[in-house]
Structure 1
């Protein structure tokens, strides 16, 4: 038995590491007398759970003063037995460990998930801000430094130094460091000691501010999202291999176009800025260092493209700006998607993208490894790589203008609510409302431009962004955009009053907003204007989260594949696809403060891309 002493919170704690079966007698004795709630953690070879090289090395169990670090290859049966005891477990970022234990030890997510308390969820409910936003952050070590012991040694830094001394990197160290390295074992044992102590501090705080029910909901949702991640999605590998080649060729093609304008490196800000300036473009935005900005936000309008890569039709596209963004996008997609799909797929050619249930300040969900929510709707090529299982069709149900409906409900906007109830196109309705008698004689193209302008103004109320940003995205004159914003406030004065009320309460009370679900969202002192954005975005997220729970409760959870933005991607037998997605859409719908939250159900076909224009 390896025994290590460690100081936490001024107390001597013990980390025990069994080396042989005889050492487990002491572990069993401790387990029989231990608290009914233990901390749990795992150490693995890397973060990509379903990649072919991923492995489980250690499993740790512990209470406030004692940690046990068990080798997964040697003591797997004993670990399973401990996990299946009638007790609860404290885990930090539990979704990862639940899936690791499911894959490598066969302890199913459904079996263990209901017995887990996640300190990351609890911390997010208390303060969702990252350290860069003025919060503590959501990592175990920063949280423990505040709530448990500011003097706890930084074993992470020590472990990185050990990696270097062994000729390893952060990428290879987790898999290759000797399992009995003292720093590695201390790092492993400390996590459960800190995790249990952190839970004891913050769980009562969550309860005391009335967030017990929300905590229970988020823990349940986490298990369902882990089930979806484990299920994964089928990949069309031959198509992906071809796509990777085509995207690299596309990147090279547009790099050659850029080179004709004097840009040898499309990633060189200085080269791109100098060439655009020489072409007569005026670059008014600057970086923190004072250099001209040439990021996507600047280049898209110069190429006469909006955020969805659709023509704005406000100017002649600048060929260099167009070539730069297209070459960079093609190369990024080749690596971040095509290459990543091939690297991350499991032995059955399934992709298990990570689904983050609580991300960002507003708790919006995210998809990473790879970031599937960042794909524009105007290009189907990457989505075409994700296909239905044999005999099935990809189906989807997407909330219809959910953020605008939430805004109309929360701000109690009678005209907007009436338009929604009547089934009006809300953005067109707004344009007609503002323009009055001038609307009817307008040509279709002019109506389209005004609809787009007022859609942008409405989304500005939801996502933020001022007149300058909207002018850039729509190609409209800055003066016209400012006038449109003023007109919008004139026809929907309730929105401005609602926003002012939230800001005033935050300014003179606690600097936060509270959503209808009870979620507390801190506001920055110099960004109180974001109050409306936060409440609307967070509430839309909570509606989708509730829909996922409701779909499982309705017995339709086996069809779900992935939540993306305000959409649920699923699959069903081809002959039943229309009926299944219609039922999923029906379950998603609800009444929210007198406003109907509706969904649009679609049968995409053999791939996700077939819902976006793919034909083969």
Structure 2
């Protein structure tokens, strides 16, 4: 053991929990081939630790090091404030079994592994950092967590492991507007929605900084709150003073955490090769095992074959040269451009990537294009870089060393539209839209993101950075290295061309290499048909829909916002009358006091601070017992969400040039193949409420046109009847019988004619619940009936339809054997965690059962969408939206009937000829001047 920790010693404190979640979300999950154990986060964690060990040299080299973990969700802060971190969702089910493995990994690297019951990792880090400082040494906290920035000061710094950037007092002040010694005061005022720290309502970081800088510290501010001139701010600080003080206790780190070890025990030790390689081999990490063995100059142990990328680690690729960012060419002359065009024509394929002024494809301008035709050979063609700030359409002047954009596009257009030359992209829909707005429609295309998705849907993200790490073993250049972040962030157009070239050209080369690695895996994994018929053709279809957009009436939205505001005010008056006094309806603390202290309602859960939980679950339970006030509060909250999320927010998404809203669809957004809509999300607008329908009234047709909505009827139940081969359900669908009434009749022995609506409702809840693996508890909550009664319903259901149980059991059996399930159209959906034990197993089992059904429904509507452009080409109509099982069109008045006939024909026949369903697909159609009227 070394001498006592003191001057000249440097302690590195690694935020282990942050490392784990970063590893989990950065890379697609990996399952161990031998037993299906989820180990993707462990793989990423080990790679980060190994990189840390390799990089910790020079001035930053530690003498002592430890990895600190959170022990459990419950800490002393939970006793202090019952709702602390209450809003945080539980960790993903496939991550839970990996937590102990990351501890084993840390020990295998011969690094101290620390966690303490009832204390957060941040408190342990705070205590060790303070001890190191007091002993005369230094502490470096390896984390970017803002909560740890209160510790920065003499002898304590932070290192952001993502940006590899040191965080000192200046960086803290840039973020919070105050020095590290006042960070806690800022956080107490601003609160934290992630950790459910309440703070002061309506006061954010900037306002908090202004107040603290003016009054010096939090207690002085609260003591002199009555001096503040702004009335609302003054009243907030007076009314919520106690809440703010509790918030400070929640965010203040504990530097006196009781530890049963000393700093000396954290002395840096080299890994023991045998121990580390043993762990890596057990985890089946071939690539890292080889790297570690090479570093220690020992023979690498044998590792079993891992699954095909991108499920596993980096696969062994061709004998390619290392990626060399310094070797890329900047194309600045017409001769150089002509040379590249000739090379591409000869190669017959090119990887392409665009650089733009922003992320919105409908408003971003082109800055440059990168191309690659083989490993080690890529270029960047700048066309929109500026100097002196601004942009080409503002004050900036075009940088030297660039070709004219029109010249470049004119020469590239024939090549990019040449059907004999393949264009390869990563998330190529983005580049397709950028170029389409400039008059170029790329064809044919390949997408490495979609190749990865076809191979391993359900195994996490399919972004370039993740795939590059996973498939190629290469870390791409972070964009923030070029454009910065926060207030100092610049647009890519302002990046120097010499710096932009290696970044942009690398993207093209990585894309080309990914294509070379992933494309050959389609056939052996039996997903070629799924990729060619369900993934690849979606790109131009969705791009055209997104560019078309849908017209929105902003005045209608503004009126609705006003209506909602008035209704909220009316509800507030009603709530105040029911409560017998006025109070802040948006304050959980005040609401809890009204419900449980003044009104004496049962079910109040009170923490040490005296605050009650007033979550939606609590209010729904009270409302179900017949209490009006919590029911009205739920109405008020619902109205508030509609206003903020839809009627207010949608107005900001109206494109100034088109007057339309242009959502963006993610093809890989869900493991089952369902599309995800973002910026704005148009798939979650409520349809069953009056207010939700009013929102859809704002989506309108242009004059002389109508909107047409076509929706599959009960498509998932029809697919279940087919795949589970249920004679009674299949016959009912063929005969056009009310499926829910038929199910109720089968289960409860009652005639369909004159059936009690409540019995039908129960059958409907079971029909749809079974598809998602609903439990007796879940059904009892949905129907508000005793759990035993709900479970009896489910048992009866399986007795009447034994084919469903047989389907479920076989699906789980197949998933456990293969590690994936397939839809009837060949889509492969991975089932990570299906072979694990404990709580995670139930969720994995339910997901495996549901995936082939929901996935097949997604496949059917994709097949319809892909065929639709050809079917309506001669009609004055456009397909605008896809929302779950519904397609929305805009069509000239005179062609409405023709559009309905054509679109319905495509949708109802979408499964064929690939699959001959044993039940008919039925599509309901509606039309109107608005989306609401079309339903």
Contact 2:468 2:514 in 1 (8 A): yes
Unaligned runs of 5+ in 1: 1-7, 130-134, 305-314
Answering whether residue 477 of structure 2 is matched by residue 145 of structure 1, we say no
- In 2, Cα distance between the equivalents of 1:184 and 1:136? 29
Q: Find the partner of 2:454 among 111, 125, 136.
A: 125
Local SS of the residue matching 2:351: strand
Matches within 5 A, 1:294-373: 299=619, 303=623, 316=626, 318-324=628-634, 326-373=636-683
**Aligned-pair distance for 1:258?**
6.0
Separation of aligned partners in 2, 1:611 and 1:137 = 36
Q: Distance in 2 between matches of 1:504 and 1:589?
A: 32
Asked if 1:454 is matched to 2:763, the reply is yes
In structure 2, the CA distance between the partners of 1:506 and 1:163, relative to structure 1 (3 Å rule), is: closer
Secondary structure in 1 matching 2:432: helix
Cα offset, 1:224, TM superposition: 1.0
Larger radius of gyration: 2
User: How far did 1:283 drift?
Assistant: 6.0
> In structure 2, what is the equivalent of residue 79 of structure 1?
409
The counterpart of 1:408, out of the listed 715, 721, 725, is: 721
Contact preservation (8 Å) 1:233, 1:387: yes
Q: Which residue of 2 aligns with 1:95?
A: 429
CA contact (8 A) 2:527 2:828 kept: no
Q: 1:585 to 1:276 in 2, by over 3 A?
A: farther
The 8 Å contact of residues 36 and 88 in structure 1, kept in 2 or not, is answered as yes
Which of 554, 567, 570 is 2:889 aligned to? 570
> Which TM-score applies when normalising by structure 2?
0.56
More helix by share: 1
Match of 2:376 in 1: 65
Distance 1:137 1:551 in 2: 29
SS in structure 2 at match of 1:372 = coil
Q: How has the CA–CA distance of structure 1 residues 303 and 372 changed in structure 2, closer, same or farther, with 3 Å as cutoff? A: farther
User: In structure 2, what is the equivalent of residue 511 of structure 1?
Assistant: 819
Change (3 A) 1:392 1:300: farther
How far does residue 389 in structure 1 lie from its aligned partner after superposition? 1.7
1:549 matched to 2:866: yes
Post-superposition offset of 1:329: 4.4
Map residues 581-592 of structure 1 onto 2, 5 A cutoff: 581-590=900-909, 592=916
> Once the 2 structures are TM-superposed, how far is the Cα of residue 199 of structure 1 from its aligned partner?
1.0
> Displacement, 1:337?
4.8
SS in 2 for 1:382: helix
Unaligned runs of 5+ in 2: 1-319, 385-403, 835-840
Deviation digits for residues 423-479 of structure 1, max 9, x if unmatched? 111111111111114877x7x6xx222212221111112233322222222222222
Distance change (3 Å), C-alpha of 1:391 and 1:124: same
User: Post-superposition shift, 1:147?
Assistant: 0.8
- Does structure 1 residue 607 correspond to structure 2 residue 924? no
Give deviations 1:353-382, integer Å, cap 9, x for gaps.
112333211011122211111011122121
Cα deviation 1:257-281 (Å, max 9, x = unaligned): 6677599666666666666555666
Number of aligned residues: 563
| Distance of 1:9 and 1:247 partners within structure 2 | 62
**Deviation sequence 1:287-308 (CA, Å, 0-9, x none):** xxxx99765566556556xxxx
For the Cα contact (< 8 Å) 2:349–2:423, is it kept in 1? Answer: yes
Q: For residues 279-290 of structure 1, what are the structure 2 equivalents within 5 Å?
A: none
Aligned to 2:536: 219
CA distance in 1 between partners of 2:919 and 2:544 (Å): 31
Structure 2 equivalent of residue 492 of structure 1: 801
Distance in 2 between residues matched to 1:317 and 1:59, nearest whole Å: 62
Cα distance between partner residues in 1 of 2:612 and 2:857: 36
**What SS does the corresponding residue of 1:361 show, helix, strand or coil?**
coil
CA contact (8 A) 1:41 1:91 kept: yes
Shift of 1:240: 2.3
The alpha-carbon deviation at position 184 of structure 1 amounts to 4.3
Residue 386 (structure 1) aligned to one of 675, 699, 708: 699
Whole-Å separation in 2 of the counterparts to 1:340 and 1:587: 31
Residue pair 1:409, 1:595 contacting (<8 A) in 2 also:
yes
Aligned residue for 1:4? none
Which of structures 1 and 2 has the larger relative contact order (alpha carbons within 8 angstroms, sep 6+)? 1
Report the equivalent of 1:132: none
| In 2: Cα distance, 1:581 partner to 1:61 partner | 43
CA distance in 1, matches of 2:576, 2:356: 45
2:509 aligned with 1:198: no
Alignment of 1:145-164 (within 5 A): 145-150=469-474, 152-159=475-482, 162-164=484-486
C-alpha separation in 1, matches of 2:601 and 2:783: 18
Please, which moves more after superposition, 545-554 or 324-333? 324-333
Per-residue CA distance 1:91-121 (angstroms, 9 max, x = gap): 1111111111111x2213xxx1x32111111
